[in-house]
């Protein structure tokens, strides 16, 4: 079989196929697993989930009703880390793709956001994806409009205790981007499940981001979202950067 494949496949493709065959045969771990949820299983240290500060923050995120069918602790912790970096930088926070607000609510609790003097702008349709911003390639992958129940009133309620430091912006990106005042951005989260609005947000906010601020891409490595990955790979290459792929499925760019 190996000789037959070598005859018909170009050398680079053959090398990849050979590597994948070896990987599938290899026993990855004897366990025990320290983390096994949200598409990520590992034997490595995951004691952050026991940290009282993070547990309080994640519980606050859970209270929004955002993660009914999944447990996203590692993804949420990555966002908290990025937000902690942003807390020490000049500028406000922006999240594009909010739904009920679980991730932002976790961050607010984790870094005690109300004491930072910053604003947290939360942009979403609050009712799912917009059909005109879904490409033909994404439709073939099963991306479709809607997919999320209307939740604006729920989100308003979730952030009511933080109304002085949060601003909910309802509507489709890119139309709503201008509702965020021009100025430094210290943290940017992008999770809109389709490439056109995500790249529009990245292009709009990147020039405003403070040096060392994190742009966090929630869908970057997830199956079914390859069009977003390809779009952000191009975005990074144009700026002589590389997206850091995380085993959580997220991607990360840090503003130089």
Per-residue pLDDT tens for 75-129? 999 999 999 999 999 999 999 999 999 999 999 999 999 999 999 999 999 999 9
Q: Looking at residues 29-51, what average pLDDT do you find?
A: 92
pLDDT of 26 higher than 90: no
DSSP H helices, 63-194, are: 73-87, 102-110, 136-140, 152-158
The confidence score (pLDDT) of residue 56 equals 98
Cα(188)–Cα(200) distance, integer angstroms: 13
pLDDT at 19: 61
Q: What is the mean pLDDT of the chain?
A: 92
Section 235-241 average pLDDT: 98
Residue 37's DSSP bridge partners are 40
Burial class (CB in 10 A: 0-12, 13-18, 19+), 149: exposed
Which CATH class for the 32-254 domain?
alpha beta
d(CA 121, CA 172): 14
Q: Which range among 18-22, 171-175, 177-181 shows the weakest confidence by mean pLDDT?
A: 18-22
pLDDT of res. 30: 75
**Helical ranges in the chain per DSSP H:** 2-8, 11-25, 52-62, 73-87, 102-110, 136-140, 152-158, 195-205, 226-237
d(CA 211, CA 209): 7
Burial label, 71 (beta-carbon count in 10 A; 0-12, 13-18, 19+): middle
Where in the sequence of the chain do the CATH 3.40.50.150 domains occur? 32-254
What is the arithmetic mean of pLDDT over 175-186? 98
DSSP helix/strand/coil, 217:
strand
């Amino acid at each position: 079989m190996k000789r037959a494949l070598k005859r018909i496949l170009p050398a680079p493709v053959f090398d990849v196929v050979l590597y994948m065959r070896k990987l599938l045969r290899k026993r990855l771990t004897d366990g025990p697993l320290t983390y096994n949820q949200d598409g990520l299983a590992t034997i490595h240290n995951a004691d952050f989930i026991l940290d009282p500060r993070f547990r309080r923050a994640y519980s606050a995120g859970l209270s929004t009703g955002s993660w009914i069918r999944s447990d996203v602790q590692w993804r949420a912790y990555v966002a908290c880390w990025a937000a902690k970096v942003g807390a020490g930088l000049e500028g406000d926070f922006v999240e594009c793709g909010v739904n009920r607000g679980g991730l932002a609510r976790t961050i607010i609790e984790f870094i005690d956001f109300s004491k930072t003097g910053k604003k947290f702008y939360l942009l979403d349709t609050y009712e799912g994806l917009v059909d005109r911003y879904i490409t033909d390639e994404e439709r073939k992958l099963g991306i479709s409009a809607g997919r999320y129940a209307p939740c604006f009133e729920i989100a308003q309620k979730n952030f009511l205790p933080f109304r002085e430091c949060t601003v909910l912006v309802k509507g489709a990106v890119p139309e709503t981007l201008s509702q965020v005042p021009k100025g430094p951005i210290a943290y940017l989260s992008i999770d809109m499940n389709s490439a056109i609005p995500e790249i529009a947000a990245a292009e709009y906010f990147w020039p405003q981001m403070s040096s060392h601020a994190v742009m966090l891409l929630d869908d970057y490595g997830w199956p079914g979202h390859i069009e977003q990955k390809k779009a952000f790979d191009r975005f990074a290459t144009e700026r002589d950067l590389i997206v850091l792929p995380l085993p959580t499925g997220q991607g990360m760019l840090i503003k130089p």
